[in-house]
């Protein structure tokens, strides 16, 4: 029997705005080709640095304020400065760091471009410096006891979930990640999310109970995780002398809650149905398979 320790858990987030969209116009005066930034009318704080925006010209013409772009829509990561200027990037890392390198070139458009904007991310990133998480799943039970009965009878109805995530407060990306891993989400994003009024505070989460390569007595490839969409309902932070500053994020799940278990076999199956134990002499090895025609 394996003993699962708390250090095997991680929280993976995917940014989302459900299907909420903004509509606005990009005017020639909104575009600054020198700084490769542009803007349009949106409430400050609704678009967050690191969001992946799907921008679509609703008149069907091209987004010609983007140099060399000949399509009516496209997806880019954004960096939003304090006065609402938006810079486009092809990658998340460039957007969160606001680097000049990788910034998408802009040009003055020939017309006022009516646009529709949606936050549409598909990449999952780990939430950094998580110290704890908790997920409660519950099923409502309706009392269907009828008169004349001596014991209560219950009928199960809807399933709901809620929980908390605790992490150290962090606001600045480290551009030189020592382990070369994908740039994580920071606690600051959750603080921004809860006050994002118009696009909502929804995110997609995976809470890993067992993740690949961790846990003694657990197969290397095993993974167990909860997957759900959730709304941030409460974010708390407190400052105390001598104490580390932590963020406490509370959420409620929205819709389906899935508990997924992946137990990849560590055996090779032979033609005669016998099995050979697949052994590794190091943790991060891989098998190379060549297909024969």
Partner 1 sequence: MSYLSGKDGSITYNGVKLAKVASWTLSSQVEALEVTSLEDFARDYTPGLKTASGSCTIWMYDDAATALLSKVIRTDNPTDADKLTMTLGFGAKSVTFTSMITNAELAMTVGEVMQAQIQFSVCGDMTSVVL
Residues that bind partner 1 (CB under 8 A): 140, 142, 144-150, 155, 157-158
- Pick between residue 194 and residue 252 the one whose CB is nearest to partner 1: 252
- Tell me the closest approach of the beta carbon of residue 36 to partner 1, in angstroms: 49
- Tell me the closest approach of the beta carbon of residue 60 to partner 1, in angstroms: 40
- CA dist 56 and 246 (Å) reads 39
211: its two tokens: 């993740």
- Pick between residue 142 and residue 261 the one whose CB is nearest to partner 1: 142
- Tell me the closest approach of the beta carbon of residue 248 to partner 1, in angstroms: 29
CA distances from 256 to 75, 117, 211, 279 (A): 27, 26, 21, 37
Q: Which residues contact 240 (CB under 8 A, 6 or more apart)?
A: none
- Pick between residue 44 and residue 158 the one whose CB is nearest to partner 1: 158
- CA dist 131 and 136 (Å) reads 17
Q: Which residues contact 184 (CB under 8 A, 6 or more apart)?
A: 125, 126, 127, 128
- Tell me the closest approach of the beta carbon of residue 256 to partner 1, in angstroms: 16
- Tell me the closest approach of the beta carbon of residue 139 to partner 1, in angstroms: 10
Phi and psi torsions of 130, nearest 5° = -75, 130
- Tell me the closest approach of the beta carbon of residue 159 to partner 1, in angstroms: 10
- Tell me the closest approach of the beta carbon of residue 145 to partner 1, in angstroms: 7
- Pick between residue 141 and residue 269 the one whose CB is nearest to partner 1: 141
| DSSP-derived 3-state class of residue 221 | coil
- Pick between residue 144 and residue 236 the one whose CB is nearest to partner 1: 144
Helix, strand, coil percentages, rounded to 5, for the chain: 5, 45, 45
| DSSP-derived 3-state class of residue 249 | strand
- CA dist 284 and 155 (Å) reads 48
- Pick between residue 257 and residue 278 the one whose CB is nearest to partner 1: 257
- Pick between residue 138 and residue 265 the one whose CB is nearest to partner 1: 138
- CA dist 66 and 38 (Å) reads 10
């Amino acid at each position: 029997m394996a003993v699962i320790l708390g250090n095997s858990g991680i929280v993976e987030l995917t940014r989302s705005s459900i299907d909420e969209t903004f509509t606005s116009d990009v005017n020639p005066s909104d575009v600054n080709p020198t700084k490769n930034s542009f803007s349009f009318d949106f409430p400050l704080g609704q678009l967050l640095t690191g969001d992946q925006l799907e921008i679509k010209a609703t008149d069907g013409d091209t987004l010609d304020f983007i140099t060399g772009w000949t399509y009516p829509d496209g997806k880019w990561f954004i960096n939003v400065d304090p006065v609402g200027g938006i810079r486009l990037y092809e990658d998340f890392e460039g957007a969160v760091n606001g680097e000049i390198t990788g910034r998408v070139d802009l040009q003055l458009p020939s017309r006022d471009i009516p646009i529709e904007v949606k936050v549409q991310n598909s990449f999952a990133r780990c939430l950094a410096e998580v110290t704890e998480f908790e997920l409660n799943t519950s099923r409502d039970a309706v009392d269907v006891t009828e008169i004349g009965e001596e014991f209560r009878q219950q009928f199960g109805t809807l399933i709901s979930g809620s929980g908390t995530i605790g992490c150290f407060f962090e606001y600045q990306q480290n551009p030189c990640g020592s382990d070369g891993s994908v740039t994580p989400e920071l606690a600051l994003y959750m603080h921004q999310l809860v006050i994002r009024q118009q696009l909502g505070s929804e995110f997609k989460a995976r809470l890993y109970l067992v993740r690949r390569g961790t846990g003694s007595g657990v197969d290397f490839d095993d993974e167990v995780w909860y997957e759900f969409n959730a709304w941030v309902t409460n974010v708390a932070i407190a400052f105390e002398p001598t104490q580390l500053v932590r963020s406490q994020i509370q959420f409620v799940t929205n819709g389906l809650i899935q508990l997924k278990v992946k137990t990849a076999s560590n055996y090779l199956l032979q033609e005669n149905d016998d099995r050979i134990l697949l052994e590794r002499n190091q943790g991060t090895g891989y098998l190379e398979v060549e297909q024969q025609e």
